[in-house]
Each structure stands twice: as C-alpha cells, then as structure tokens.
Structure 1
Amino acid sequence: MKKIISTILFIFLLIQNSQAQETEIHAREEAHGKLKHHRIALIWGHGYVPKGISNPDNPQVLIIPTIGLDYEYFFSHRFAIGITNELELSNYIIETKEFNELEREYAYVGAIMAMFEVGHLFILGIGPGVEIEKNHNFFVGKISLEREFPIMGEGGWDVTPVLAYELKSSNGHGVYDALTFGIGIGKRF
C-alpha cells in the first residue's frame, strides 16, 4: 500500500512540476515573445570610482559618464552569454595601494559575461574582462544585475536599467573598483 501511495504521489509531483514549467515558459514567452537568440543594447551610464580624483587639488566624489554597446546570445530564455563594451568619457586619476597616482584617460572596459535570469526578467551576469587605457591596462572582474522592461508590441525592444560592479586588478592585486548605473535600449532579434 505504501508503494502505491508513494508512486501516486511521485506521479502527481511530476505532473505538477511539468505544469509549473509550462506556466513559467508561457510567462517568459509573454514577456519576451518567442525565443529570439540575439540581443543588442546601447547603454548610457555613470560610474562611481571611489579611489578616483578628477582634480588633485580639490578631491571630490568622482562620477564619470559612460557609453556602452552590449551583445548577448540567448541559449534559452534563462541562459545567455554576452559581451559588454564600455567607454569611460572622462579623464581622472586613481591612487594605487602604493600611493602612486595613475592617470586614466578615456578607458575602454570589455568583458565576457555568463548571464542567468534569476527572477522574472532580472538577469545576473558575471565574467572576466579587461580595461584598456594608454597608461596602464587592468584585468577586470565584473558582476551586473539588469531588469528588462519590454516595450509593448512584437518588435523585441526593451528598456533596461543596469547596475554593474567592476574590480580592476594588476598582478593579482585589486587596485581599484567602480560601480556603474546605466539605462539601456535593447533589441532582440
């Protein structure tokens, strides 16, 4: 009798699980439409660099404007890989751990991101990258959280706020970090 009840309970749970998955897939298709594998987005943002100084004589909180172009390839509605590209539109100075000043001029930051939808339309990304700048290049560890807001219609357009944290290091030692907030306009195709 216990075996029969266990088998019935197991079958019931399998049916409930498959129905929940179908409901989740239907909810994603309503939000995204049918799966479109490619997404490109133009991002405008501002980065906060805690160790950055724009004027050594008058140190203040440093907020730098950025512009970016992202490309993502979706394997499913939940998993993607992406390439983020960002250009910092300012010059500034950072103070390293050795108390040396290092000038940063219009640095480019690029990263390859593994992306996962952690909640309905909330996407978490993490990956390695590089900051390229004429004075000194850095390795970058990047983590981001974005929330897509699809624009009505079947066009695949969305508006996406993005919050990203970057830890920039050289020779395995963290040198400085940045926190960036941006707004993107994206298109799935």
Structure 2
Amino acid sequence: MKQLLIVALALLSVNAMAQHDHHAGHETHSSHETSSHGKHKLSLYTGFTHIPSAFYEHETHEESTGKWVPTIGVDYYYSLNNKWALGLIGDVELDQYYITTSNHDELERNNVVVVSAVGKYKPTHRIGILAGPGVEWEFKNHDTETFFVLKTGIEYEVEIENGWELTPMFTYDFKEEYSAYSFGITIGKRF
C-alpha cells in the first residue's frame, strides 16, 4: 500500500510541475468550464474491486490470494469552487465471497453496497483526491453485518464535450474487518 501512495504522490508532483508554466491560462479555462456546465456532476461507474482477504466457499483463507469482484456504482458531486467539491459515492460489488473476521469467524459477504460521503480536492485541473466516511452493508433478506468505511481515492478527469467527462479512478476502502481497492472508470455529465 505504501508503494501505491508513493507512486500516486510522485505522479501528482510531476503533473503539478508540468502544469506550472500554463497555470494562469489553464486556471481561467478551468473556471470557465466549471461555470458554463454547472456545479453538479452525476456519473456512472464500472470497474473491479480487489478484496485481498476474500475467498470462495470451496477455498480456505490460506488458499486464497484475494478476489477481483465486478463493481458498478453512481457518483454525485457538487462543486464548491474550482478546487473543492462534496460528493456521494455508491458502489455495489456483484459477487458472493467470504472473509475471516478479527474473531476468526468466516463471514459471508454477498452483493456488498458501499455508500460514502466524500470531499474532493483538485490540486490540478484534471486530478482529484477524495476521502470521506461511509458504510457497507449487503442486499439480503435477513440480518446482515454493516461496517464503517473510510474511502480514499484519486481520479483523473478527461473532458469530452458539452459537460461530459470520462474519469479513470483508483479508490482504497479502509473497512472495519477488511480492506479493498478498486480500479474503474466513470462517465459523467456536469449540469
């Protein structure tokens, strides 16, 4: 995990230095784009979530190297200004797997839903860094365990036209009993 954070910070530094020469003109363009397309952004997300501690019923925890789970979601952001935004992120992991809890019990997780309220800071025109609290639960007919989540992430916004954007992103969820990280892309519209 430390290596991923170091790489992300290095990429941010390189991008910030590369944009330093065009900062004044680029910032004016950024202000114009945000105001002309509105302060709201609604996006659909698709990607994969890796749960390092997950295993399937026929496996044991020792045999597992984690599971990649297809994930879909919806994101909503409200831009406070060119640097800050508040948002809600809702993701659904479309699979059934097991984890081992801190009490050494096996816990089934099935179609996990993670909803987080995040703040996003944009150090550059395209890069956003996000973090915020959330909760995880499952779609089930009977009682299910919920977990507190701290969602963190980094994204790179690519403007298409007319307020449409493609945004590759990486998120890391620190959960009560286990953690997960996701790679994916959103397609969103500013309005």
Same fold (TM over 0.5): yes
The corresponding residue for 2:165 is 158
Q: Could you tell me how far 1:75 is from its partner in structure 2?
A: 1.0
Q: Could you tell me how far 1:24 is from its partner in structure 2?
A: 4.6
Question: For the Cα contact (< 8 Å) 2:90–2:114, is it kept in 1?
Answer: yes
Q: 2:158 aligned with 1:149, yes or no?
A: yes
Cα distance in 2 for partners of 1:89, 1:29 equals 38
The corresponding residue for 1:140 is 149
Q: Could you tell me how far 1:31 is from its partner in structure 2?
A: 5.7
Secondary structure at 1:45 match in 2: strand
Q: Could you tell me how far 1:87 is from its partner in structure 2?
A: 0.6
Q: Could you tell me how far 1:176 is from its partner in structure 2?
A: 0.2
Secondary structure at 1:59 match in 2: coil
Q: Aligned partner of 1:123: which letter? A: G
Cα distance in 1 for partners of 2:76, 2:42 equals 5
Q: How high is the sequence identity, in percent, across the aligned residues?
A: 33
Q: Could you tell me how far 1:23 is from its partner in structure 2?
A: 3.3
Secondary structure at 2:91 match in 1: strand
The corresponding residue for 1:167 is 174
Cα distance in 2 for partners of 1:55, 1:45 equals 24
The corresponding residue for 1:50 is 52
> TM-score, normalization: structure 2?
0.79
Equivalent in 96, 118, 123 of residue 118 of structure 1: 123
The corresponding residue for 1:78 is 83
Cα distance in 1 for partners of 2:136, 2:42 equals 21
Cα shift readout 1:30-76 (whole Å, capped 9, x = no counterpart): 66563620000000010000110124436343000010000000011
Question: For the Cα contact (< 8 Å) 1:38–1:74, is it kept in 2?
Answer: yes
Question: For the Cα contact (< 8 Å) 2:147–2:175, is it kept in 1?
Answer: yes
Q: Aligned partner of 1:23: which letter? A: G
**Cα RMSD (Å):** 1.9
Cα distance in 1 for partners of 2:98, 2:173 equals 17
Q: Aligned partner of 1:143: which letter? A: T
Q: Aligned partner of 1:145: which letter? A: I
Cα distance in 1 for partners of 2:150, 2:165 equals 26
Cα distance in 2 for partners of 1:167, 1:113 equals 14
Aligned length: 163
Large movers: runs of 4+ above 4 Å = 30-33
Q: Aligned partner of 1:141: which letter? A: L
Cα shift readout 1:71-130 (whole Å, capped 9, x = no counterpart): 000011211000000011000001112221100010110000011102231001110000
Bigger Rg, structure 1 or 2: 1
Which structure 2 residue ranges, 5 or more long, are not aligned? 1-21
Equivalent in 42, 54, 58 of residue 40 of structure 1: 42
